Structure 1
Amino acid sequence: MKNKIKNYIKKNFFKECNEIEKLKRENKRLKQINEKLKTMNSFKDEVISAISHEFKNPISIINGYIETIIESNLDEKTKIKFLKKIYNNTTRLSELIDRLYLITKLENKKLKPKFEKFRLDTVAKNLIDSFDEDRIKLNAKKIEITADKNLIDIVLRNLISNALKYSSKEIIVNINEEKVEVIDKGKGIDEKHIELIKEKFYRVAKNDWDNSLGLGLAIVEHILQLHNTKLEIESKKGKGSKFYFDITSLVNKELQQ
């Protein structure tokens, strides 16, 4: 009888210990989930705040200029100047909406590239001319690739815009049979941020939001993935950055009928 009692106590003791361990593990798991939810909520609030700020700023500017035009007796020259300011800010709002829409389509895999043959150097030259910036220097060979022309244009536009934003010095765009490079001599990026800056909404300086909303490089990365290549980044703090991607497969790619 004593042995039975001992065995019973021993058996139930270990059973209770196992249950306690299970509860501890479950409690730990719930704490981890809770921490993740807190982080996600914090990130969501930050993103909503940033989007709100970026939309509110140009809208406030537009409203201010419209109110001045309506209520003040302005000469034609000043009116045209104010209307140009309004146009620039409506364009900025449109670009914000377009970027949010594009990253959503890319992430949900609802955007299929339309491949065609075209001269990459010509696309780059036309794009650089549209910036009207003497700081951008193009060194390009005559290269024909098979890709989605509009999407590659977006990639180049985002990389060049990014370089102009963070550098007041010369921007160099190199194009050859192997790769495309956009090089700046700006502030550079800390090594710990290099891979993270390709993520959606990621900002090196959390309160330094602009009209890109941290979407530019995320869009670039998704588009390049559709073309079976990827964005590479080399940077040194205080010395500048190089953003580049391989185009070997695009040069050699045959257009499928």
Structure 2
Amino acid sequence: MVQATELRIGDSDEIDMLSARELAAAVPEPIVIFDARGAALHANQAAIAAFGQIPPGTLLHHKFRTPEMQQLIVGLLGERRPGAIDYSERVPIERAFRVSAAPVGARGLFVVHFKDQSETRRIDRMRADFIANASHELRTPLASISGFIETLRGPARNDEKARDNFLQIMQAQTERMARLIDDLLSLSRIEMKPYMRSEARIDLGEVVAGVVESLGHLARESGVDVFYTRPNEPVLVPGSRDELIQVFENLVENACKYGASGGKVEIEINRTSAGPIPEVAVTVRDFGPGIAEEHIPRITERFYRVETTVTRRGTGLGLAIVKHILTRHEGRLTVKSRLGEGSAFTVHLPAE
């Protein structure tokens, strides 16, 4: 029979021998130990990485100047009262912390602990924005359909011409809602999938050729000629055929709709070794109105749209889906555009 050994902390001096420096070093979050004057005695490596050097003797109320931090430090030093606040910084990047401060032991020492909340706040903000945007995008067509139904049941009850016109608009609005829901579900499925390198080898030349053929009717309706020459040899990349088809469908569809005024879309596939690994670059170029420089960094955000008559008909999720699929494939998207000169969207994927 095995007898359990009871550990009695009081019988050992090992814990008493631990220094404040050792304890602070073991904590992965920023910790600063300071004295009754508010002068720093020790900052662990995480604090130095987060806030820069904090030499011994640095006054905390000089280092952290927000009113909330000032009140926390004054209350702690004056009344030895533990406290906690939310603290944020905007320079050099926006960060948010939950800051806790308390006295330590009987030697007149104090500790302040910073718990980084930046990622949590970012996710909460994204979730709130996502719900607000999705609700807005669905509410607009629903309000339009409701208004037309009310009109059809009232003043336009016997107006055949108005009825046909209203029904056509209602159908377009329901199709818009259906596209939005499809895009939301698609984006959700992509985000839920963990990254996994596919063993399949996909011929991008074949994929793009299939997309161009399937979107031929859209190109004709938009008055756009699509120029694409399939490479003579297979251009292979590892990945998911269905997801890569979705990428190029989004890009070619956007080029046909938003670049329609240019009258043509050009697609080319090139192998490149300019980066650290061999890549395949697929460029979809239109000759439409182009995109202003300030919009380019944000066009892959959910629901972000450069407001035009055409973009208001989209869901604002297409390029977000493209970005997430390429991330799963260890790829990237680059965009070059000038107002009045069209836009070029280039997909970069690791070559086989």
Helix, strand or coil at the partner of 2:175 = helix
**What is aligned with 2:38?**
17
Structure 2: unaligned runs, 5 residues or longer? 1-33, 41-57, 71-85, 90-95, 98-117, 272-280
Percent identical pairs in the alignment equals: 28
**What is aligned with 2:289?**
187
Deviations 1:140-182 (A, max 9, x none): 3157556433322321232233334543222413143543222
**What is aligned with 1:127?**
214
Deviations 1:22-51 (A, max 9, x none): 4553828714338x7999988776655543
Between the two structures, name the one with larger relative contact order (CA 8 Å, sep ≥ 6): 1
Provide the TM-score with structure 2 as the length reference: 0.53
State the alpha-carbon separation in 2 of the partners of residues 63 and 170 from structure 1: 37
**What is aligned with 1:140?**
229
Q: Which is richer in helix? A: 1
Contact 2:262–2:287, Cα closer than 8 Å, also in 1: yes
Of 300, 314, 321, which residue of structure 2 is paired with 1:198?
300
State the alpha-carbon separation in 2 of the partners of residues 111 and 175 from structure 1: 28
Q: After TM superposition, list the pairs within 5 Å mapping 1:157-168 onto structure 2.
A: 157-167=249-259, 168=261
Q: After TM superposition, list the pairs within 5 Å mapping 1:193-232 onto structure 2.
A: 193-203=295-305, 210=312, 212-232=314-334
Of 132, 154, 158, which residue of structure 2 is paired with 1:73?
158
Deviations 1:180-236 (A, max 9, x none): 22212233234444333223344456xx97354542212111112223322121112
Number of matched pairs:
235
2:151 paired with 1:64: no
State the alpha-carbon separation in 2 of the partners of residues 50 and 152 from structure 1: 26
Of 229, 244, 248, which residue of structure 2 is paired with 1:156?
248
State the alpha-carbon separation in 2 of the partners of residues 38 and 183 from structure 1: 37
Change (3 A) 1:14 1:55: closer
Contact 1:138–1:174, Cα closer than 8 Å, also in 2: yes
Provide the TM-score with structure 1 as the length reference: 0.69
2:137 paired with 1:54: yes
- Given residue 16 of structure 1, which amino acid in structure 2 is its aligned partner? R
Question: What root-mean-square deviation, in Å, do the aligned CA atoms of Structure 1 and Structure 2 show?
Answer: 4.0
- Given residue 52 of structure 1, which amino acid in structure 2 is its aligned partner? S
Helix, strand or coil at the partner of 1:195 = helix
**What is aligned with 2:22?**
none
- Given residue 95 of structure 1, which amino acid in structure 2 is its aligned partner? R
Structure 1: unaligned runs, 5 residues or longer? 1-12
- Given residue 135 of structure 1, which amino acid in structure 2 is its aligned partner? V
Q: Which is richer in strand? A: 2
Contact 1:190–1:235, Cα closer than 8 Å, also in 2: yes
Contact 2:292–2:339, Cα closer than 8 Å, also in 1: yes
Contact 2:39–2:59, Cα closer than 8 Å, also in 1: yes
State the alpha-carbon separation in 2 of the partners of residues 109 and 164 from structure 1: 30
Change (3 A) 1:247 1:15: closer
